Structure 1
Amino acid sequence: MRFLLVEDNAQLAAAILDRLALDGHVVDHAGDLGTAQDFMSTTDYDLILLDIMLPDGDGRDFLNAQRARGTDTPVIVLTARSEVSDRVGALDMGADDYIPKPFDFAELEARCRAVLRRRTGTATNVKRFGDAEFDPLAGTLRNGDKVVSLRNRELRLLEVFFAAPGQIIPKPKLVDRLFSYDEEVSENAIEVYVGRLRRHLEGSQVSIVTVRGLGYRLAVP
């Protein structure tokens, strides 16, 4: 998953980035609303973690503007304000969840998972396609009796495919899902990770098919 973190506290932002990177997520960090708006204009995000008090404005104005444009990217508000009225106000503006500072990182991760499950309309982390069973939380892929433990980018790439089974996904989109702005990477890197996933899927009905000139899709016979 690709997240946008809008947080001006450099120490807290670094800690969040490190924690989410351990889960394999790609996270772009914006220290102010202007940078966040620039990121939003060029990239689609799966989730936004949004601070309220920022150097160039109020995060709630940013949230309100995004919802007014019809942007439905899930937003979790992070703020030191803990009054009920603040929480209600953020939720009424379109936030999907609210977590007061200071918070435990395990709780933040759990809230991210819960918000993303609600977005996809599922009550469980486990995803199934054909005879393959993918658990992004456990980081495993099961084919019958075969269980594979996935590395971070393998996991996130498979997550993209399982989110849109049967659909053609262009290489540039896969690059966008797996790598942040800070990383220099070529589209050939995707071929390496796709090759790894194909080996993991050997023996199952499910395969990753190359659609020449367009991209890849997760398919069953």
Structure 2
Amino acid sequence: MPENYVPPVAETTDSAKQGKLTAYGFSEAQRMAVRVRNVGCTTVTRGTGFAIDERTLITNRHVVDGTTTLQLSTYDGRDVDVTNSSVAAFADLALVRTKEDLDAFPILAENDPQPGDQLTIVGYPNGGALTVTSGEALYYQQDPLEENLGEVLVSDAEVERGSSGSAVLDSEGRLVGVVYAKSNTGHSFIIPVSSLLTILAGAEGFNAQKTTTCNR
């Protein structure tokens, strides 16, 4: 990853009103967002995932890379067992399948957000409390991390390390993107929902991930 860009991560808050969410919307966000803890051979990577159906999570590929064990937990501390994971052939995306049903999942928007739209990002910065932050869709640009994504959305909504894989919601609470990086100036980079839908629709969009074996 270029030194000017870092995996993302939002100021921690317990407020249901932060990020333009109503109390009901915050409750839904709590139930769709999941902490991801990737235990590798020498490091632990923390990130965020969100449900897209009863037993499927989306997160970033770099959140699950090099794993020996993936650990998922909900906002209320419930552990969720993983059956398998797969990574996108291109783009910084991964799928994680679970053994049990997840509580809630968002409607995927049909269209990408436009500059000026208000956005809400839902995640677990630093593996801590669920946090929601709000910002504006600024503009589209070519993917700066060269993940062959084409154009990605730039937003001024704050993210931090640990928010990688966070859901990006529009003012209606629909999913419009996935956070995957931030710039050295604090802007967040978002995979737009159209790219996610294209990859999900492809028969070979994701490849099974192999668990890493550590040398002892």
User: What's the TM-score, normalizing by structure 2?
Assistant: 0.27
Higher strand share: 2
Higher helix share: 1
